[in-house]
Amino acid sequence: MRSAFSCVHNVGMNIARIPDGLKRLHFENRFTRELPADPETGSARRQIRNACFSRVRPTSVAAPRLVAYSAEVAEMLGLSAADCESAEFAEVFTGNRLLPGMDPHATCYGGHQFGNWAGQLGDGRAINLGEVIAPGGDRQVLQLKGAGPTPYSRSADGLAVLRSSVREFLCSEAMHHLGVPTTRALSLTLTGEQVMRDMLYDGHPALEPGAVVCRVAPSFTRFGHFQMLAARGEIDLLRKFLHYTLETDFPHLLTQYQAGSAQIVLAWFAEVCERTAETIAHWMRVGFVHGVMNTDNMSVLGLTIDYGPYGWLEDYDPDWTPNTTDAAGRRYRFGHQPAVAQWNLLQLANAIYPLVEDAAPLEEHLRGFETCYTARWQQMMAAKLGLKAFERDDGELLDALESVLQLTETDMTLFFRGLAELDPAMLQRPAELMDPLLQAYYLPGELTDDVRSEIHAWLAAYLHRVRDDGQAPEVRRARMNEANPRYVLRNYLAQQAIDKAEAGDYSMIHELLEVLRRPYTEQPGREAFAEKRPDWARSRVGCSQLSCSS
């Protein structure tokens, strides 16, 4: 493997050739200026002490090539289409070239993986190029995923393949347009090299095209950053790191509480709990399953982070997880995500306890997560059902809905979009009640008289509730269609795009990116992107099964 230093272009080389937008990127880099660095540089694997990051450069690759970029993220950063389509852009955001002001580094963190403490983890396949101040004044970190080894790569190569990179690029942007808090993706590039991967860890490795995604977020700070410092007993650095986090990502708290006090630590933790509850409620709203909710994959900003073996709930099965590594225990199954989030917050509370030295208020905020999540879930379900607000008696209606959705294989996305087409006037025509929902059922033969009777009973109860709610049908329908997407990144669609991309055809990546920009809007001519999972995808790898291999 090439040295991570030897082939990276000199920062000042050919500066005149750099497109204007790239020249204007202003790097602030507070993280590396204000926090202690590992005294050793380079990618040699090692344990880090009393430091928050290690400086390491991306590995140069053979033939950087742009596959796709997000116009919205580019605009946020002040980059034009010409900037993004330039050869220099591909060089920079695949790792072959550094711009003036960049300070590439990988950060150190730990975490619980599948409920067990894993010790030092860190950015094993991610290299932060630096922090830019966007034209609007916001701070954004630019991070390359798959740009080569770091001190935290352990026995891995730090690279990524096209398969997983397509999924990360598309899902990051799809989630943003769905209104789900998330990290963003600026670009997807090819390296021109092959990477060996054993996709299912079953002893059948194969070469795959190498790729890099440039991820963008105000911060990539994770629960695990705090856990690692606490686990090593580096309490002074833990305190310093939290103060840095407050200054950069939660400055409003510094205007309300005294820096360094237990009160500001608790206020920060309460906000992390609230942001996490908000994000998980959104996941449940759109049917997203993260697949690997380890504490090192949890953002303190409440962003969805690390798109690995994620999946979209097609058949409504609360016990489904896409992650083959989790197939036995199903720890990270769809219906368990709120509970896992609270457990992860408990681990964060344990990490910051030395800064508070009082368990009671931390426990109170953990209970507050449950209260906050329940409130957001109730609001979300009211919106999905087109109701003005959640009322106490609606709990029984929702419990019955949970059962109805599992009577037979039911496509979650299509069910809720179809539900918007119902109207209380249809109570006079009971034989028509299920008509708008028929497209949501995978196995029509399972719609026996008994199953239909249960579904009809729930639909009737629902429409009586809608009638009592008193909204005009068009108002209710619009409210529902703003909460229930028409288009999501279905697993089989992502796999079709990957199949084509691996054959050199990137057209479906671009088409999906375009469709997913308007997930709540009917798009004539694009009905194929809103169809339920075809039979061929029922058990295909990449559609129903995914691993952590990337």
Q: Which residues are catalytic?
A: 296
8 A C-beta contact, residue 59 and residue 2: yes
DSSP bridge partners of 53: 37, 107
Quick one: three-class SS letters along 209-268?
A: EEEEEEEEECCCCEHHHHHHHHHCCCHHHHHHHHHHHHHHHCHHHHCCCCCCCHHHHHHH
Q: For residue 454, give the DSSP letter.
A: H
Round to whole Å and give the CA distance between 154 and 45: 6
Q: Nearest 5 degrees, angle CA 417-CA 311-CA 167?
A: 110
Phi, psi (deg, nearest 5) at residue 282: -65, -40
Round to whole Å and give the CA distance between 157 and 147: 9
DSSP string, 377-428: HHHHHHHHTT-SS--TTHHHHHHHHHHHTTSS-BBHHHHHHHHTT--GGGGG
Using the CB atoms, write b or e for 90-122: b if 16+ within 10 Å: bbbbbbbbbbeebbbbbbbbbbbbeeeeeebbb
Q: Report which secondary-structure segment, H or E, holds 126.
A: strand 126-133
Q: What does each C-alpha distance from 521 to 178, 476, 485 come to in angstroms? A: 11, 16, 8
- Provide the residue type at 194 as one letter: Q
223-231 and 235-249 are packed helices; what angle lies between their axes, rounded to 10 degrees? 160
Round to whole Å and give the CA distance between 496 and 506: 11
Closest by CA to 257, choosing from 349, 360, 354, 355, is 355
8 A C-beta contact, residue 214 and residue 143: yes
Closest by CA to 297, choosing from 306, 309, 289, is 306
Q: What does each C-alpha distance from 316 to 407, 446, 530 come to in angstroms? A: 10, 15, 16
| Residue 425: both structure tokens together | 């006037």
